[in-house]
Structure 1
C-alpha cells in the first residue's frame, strides 16, 4: 500500500510535492500548523511532513508535541538541510518526529524513507492489537486452568473450541456446505424405494432444498476460486484508463445488488465524477475493480440497518482521485462502535471479523468470503498502487451529527492526459 501524507505547505515543500507526484504517492496540503489538528479529527493520514524551518520557535515545537501526543499513529517526518541539523536532531531525540528527508530531495530516497516508515507504522499498530489480544488470551487461559472456577461452573471449554468455532463461521455456518450435508442426509432418510420401477421417490420440497443449497455451495466454491486467483496474482496493474471508466462499474454493481439492498430497504446514493479530473488517467484493470466495488458496497450494505442510505462520493484532491463509501456506524458485540481505531488496520488482515455473526442473506452476492473480503480489496488496491483505509467519522450527511463508517480509496492520478 502507498502512504498518504499531510504536508504543511511552504516555499520549501515545492520540491517535496514534485517528488511525490513523480513517485505517485498521495498527499494533501495544509497552510497553517494550527489547522493540522482539526484536519486529523476527520481524515486519516499515515504521515505529517513538515520542513524544520516552520518549527524554529518554541510555540511551534510545543504544538508539534501536542500533535504527536494526540495522534500517536500518525508519524511525523521532517524535511531538513545542512543548516538545520541541530534542530532536527533535537526533535528526533525528543520523539516529536520519527524520521527525516534531506534536501535537496532525491525521489528514490524519498520513496525508500516513506516505505520504511509505513512498514514501521503498520508493524507498530499490529503489535498494539496483538498485545491486547495476548492479554485476552492470557486471561482466558487463567480461566480455563482455574480449577475452582471450573468446579463451580462445570466449565468444559478450551482454546481448541474457539478455533473450531472460527472454522464453523468461515465454512459451515448458514447455507452452503453445512446445510447441504444436512439436506442430503434428509434426502437419504426420506427417499422411498419403488421396487417395481427400481427408482427412489423424492418429495419435491426436499429436492428443492437440495437444489437451493447446491447452488449456495457452488457459489462458495466459485468464491474460493476467485479468491485464489487474486491471492496468486502478484503483478502490478500496468493498464491505464480515464476515471470515466469507474462510474459505469459502480452503476453496474449497484444494479446487481438491487436485491441485496431490498432486503433492508436500503439505498445507495452515487455522486458524479469531479469534472476537474475527468480526463485524468489511473491504473485500471476492470475485472479487479469490479471485485473491489462489489465487496465494499456489499460490506456497507451488510453492516447498515433498515432504511439506511449509503453514500458513494468522488473527490479530486491534489494528485489523486478519492472515493468515499459512507454508511452509518452501529455498536458492535464488544460494545465498540463502527470501526474502532485499534481495528482500522486489522480489518484488512485475513479472517479477522469484528462481528462473529454471519448474515446468510447476502451469501449469494459475495465474491470473497471466509473473512477475506477486505484483505483482497487491499491487495487489489496495492496492485493499482492505490491506498485504502476504513475508519469512523463525524458526519452531517443525514442532517444531524452522527457517526459514520467511511471506507476511503485514494487512486493516484497519472501525469498524462488523453
Structure 2
C-alpha cells in the first residue's frame, strides 16, 4: 500500500510535489501551519511533510510538538539542508520529527525514505495492539500470509488452531455446513420408506430446508475458491482505464445487494464521479475491483442498523481519486465505537474480527469468509498501488453529533499517454 501525506505548501515542497506525482504517492496540501491540527483531526495521514525553513519561530516548534503528542501515528518528515542541520538534529533528537529529506531532493531517496518510514509506522501501529503473549503467533501469521507465496499444508499446521476457530465461526455457526448436517440427520430419521414402490417419502419442509442449506454451503466453497485465487495472485495491476469505469461496477453491485438492503430497510446514496478526473486513468482490473466493491458495501450494510443510509462519495483531490464509503458507527461488544484508533491498521490483518457474531442474513451475498474479507481487499488495493484506510469520523451528514465509520480508497491518477 502507498502512504498518504499532508504537505505544507512552500517553495521548498514544490519539488517534493513533483516527485510524489512521479512515484504516484497520494498527498494533500495545506497553506498554514496553524491549520494543521484541524487537518489532522478531520483526515488520516501517514506523514506530515514540511520544510525546516517554515519552523523559524518558537510558535511553529510548539505546534510541531503538539502534533507529535496529539497525533503520534502521523510521522513528521522534515525537508532540510546543511544550513539547518543543527535545528534538524535537535528536532529529531527530541522526537518532534521522525526523519528528514535533504535538498536537493532526489526521486529514489524520497521514495526510499518514505517507504522505510511507512514500514516503521505499520510495525509501530501493530505493536501497539498486539500483546506480548500474542507476538509469536502474530509474526507467524504475517509470515504465512506473505502474499508472495501460497499457503502450503506444512505452514497451515502452524496456525491450525486459529484457522479451526475461524472455520468454526464461518462454517458451523448458523446456516451452512452445520445446519446442512443437521438437516441431513433429520432427513434420514424422518424419511419414510414406501416398501411397495421402493422409495422414500420426504416431507416438503425438510427438502426445502435441505435445499436452502445446500446452497449456503455451496456458497462457502465458492468463496474458498475465490479467496484462494486472490491469495495466489501476486501480480501488480498494469492495465489502466478511465476512472469512469468504476461507475458501472458500483451500480451493478448496489443492484446485486438490493435484497441485502431490504433486510434492514437501508439505502445507499452515491455521488457522481467528478468530471475533472475524466482526462486521467487509474490502474484497473474489473474483476478485482468488483471483489473490493462488494466486500466494502456488504460490510457497511452488515454493520449498519435498521433504516440507516450509507453514502458513497467521490472526490478529486490533488493527484488521486478518493472514494469514501460512510456508514453510522455503533457500539461494539467491547464497548468501543465503530473502528477505534487502535484497530485502524489491525482490521486489515488475517482473521481479525471486531465482532464474533455471525449474521446468517447476508451469507449468500458473501464472497470472502473466515475473517479474510478486508485482508483480501487490502491485498487487491496493493496490487493497484492504491491506498485504503478505515477510521471513525465526526458525523457531518446527519447532524446528530455522532460518529460515522469512513472507509477511504485512494487511486493515484495517471496521465493518459499521448
> Could you tell me which residue of structure 2 aligns to residue 308 of structure 1?
308
Q: TM-score, normalised by structure 1?
A: 0.91
The yes-or-no answer on 1:223 pairing with 2:249 is no
Shift of 1:163: 8.4
- Alpha-carbon spacing, 1:132–1:358, altered in 2? closer, same or farther (3 Å): farther
Alignment of 1:256-267 (within 5 A): 256-267=256-267
> Could you tell me which residue of structure 1 aligns to residue 103 of structure 2?
103
Alignment of 1:176-215 (within 5 A): 176-215=176-215
Counterpart contact for 1:266–1:307, Cα < 8 Å = yes
Counterpart contact for 1:340–1:392, Cα < 8 Å = yes
Alignment of 1:308-327 (within 5 A): 308-327=308-327
Shift of 1:86: 1.1
> Could you tell me which residue of structure 1 aligns to residue 340 of structure 2?
340
Shift of 1:416: 2.2
Counterpart contact for 2:279–2:415, Cα < 8 Å = no
d(CA) in 2 for partners of 1:187, 1:369: 28
Secondary structure in 2 aligned to 1:391?
strand
Counterpart contact for 2:279–2:416, Cα < 8 Å = no
Shift of 1:381: 0.4
What is the CA deviation profile of residues 131-190 of structure 1, one whole-angstrom value per residue up to 9, with x for unaligned ones? 28859x9xxxxxxxxxxxxxxxxxxxxxx9998654421321111111111111111111
Alignment of 1:228-247 (within 5 A): 228-247=228-247
d(CA) in 2 for partners of 1:83, 1:161: 57
Counterpart contact for 2:348–2:375, Cα < 8 Å = yes
Alignment of 1:71-82 (within 5 A): 71-82=71-82
> Could you tell me which residue of structure 2 aligns to residue 27 of structure 1?
27
Counterpart contact for 1:190–1:202, Cα < 8 Å = yes
d(CA) in 2 for partners of 1:308, 1:221: 31
The yes-or-no answer on 1:114 pairing with 2:114 is yes
- Alpha-carbon spacing, 1:388–1:41, altered in 2? closer, same or farther (3 Å): same
What is the CA deviation profile of residues 378-408 of structure 1, one whole-angstrom value per residue up to 9, with x for unaligned ones? 0000000001000000022113332100000
- Alpha-carbon spacing, 1:357–1:33, altered in 2? closer, same or farther (3 Å): same
> Could you tell me which residue of structure 2 aligns to residue 352 of structure 1?
352
d(CA) in 2 for partners of 1:58, 1:132: 40
Structure 2 unaligned segments of length 5 or more: list them: 138-159
- Alpha-carbon spacing, 1:403–1:132, altered in 2? closer, same or farther (3 Å): farther
> Could you tell me which residue of structure 2 aligns to residue 270 of structure 1?
270
> Could you tell me which residue of structure 1 aligns to residue 365 of structure 2?
365
> Could you tell me which residue of structure 2 aligns to residue 374 of structure 1?
374
Secondary structure in 1 aligned to 2:314?
strand
Secondary structure in 2 aligned to 1:352?
coil
Secondary structure in 2 aligned to 1:174?
coil
d(CA) in 2 for partners of 1:176, 1:400: 39
Superposed CA RMSD: 1.8
d(CA) in 2 for partners of 1:57, 1:414: 39
Counterpart contact for 1:21–1:319, Cα < 8 Å = yes
Counterpart contact for 1:9–1:31, Cα < 8 Å = yes
> Could you tell me which residue of structure 1 aligns to residue 414 of structure 2?
414
Counterpart contact for 1:235–1:383, Cα < 8 Å = yes
**Mean Cα deviation higher: 163-172 or 290-299:** 163-172
Counterpart contact for 2:166–2:371, Cα < 8 Å = no
d(CA) in 2 for partners of 1:246, 1:8: 31
Counterpart contact for 1:332–1:338, Cα < 8 Å = yes
Counterpart contact for 1:292–1:380, Cα < 8 Å = yes
Counterpart contact for 1:386–1:410, Cα < 8 Å = yes
> Could you tell me which residue of structure 1 aligns to residue 68 of structure 2?
68
d(CA) in 2 for partners of 1:163, 1:322: 34
Counterpart contact for 2:166–2:370, Cα < 8 Å = no
Counterpart contact for 2:386–2:409, Cα < 8 Å = yes
Counterpart contact for 2:328–2:403, Cα < 8 Å = yes
Shift of 1:280: 1.2
Secondary structure in 1 aligned to 2:228?
helix
Q: TM-score, normalised by structure 2?
A: 0.91
The yes-or-no answer on 1:125 pairing with 2:144 is no
What is the CA deviation profile of residues 246-284 of structure 1, one whole-angstrom value per residue up to 9, with x for unaligned ones? 111101100000000000000000100111112210000
> Could you tell me which residue of structure 1 aligns to residue 48 of structure 2?
48
d(CA) in 2 for partners of 1:278, 1:45: 26
- Alpha-carbon spacing, 1:277–1:163, altered in 2? closer, same or farther (3 Å): closer
d(CA) in 2 for partners of 1:236, 1:163: 28
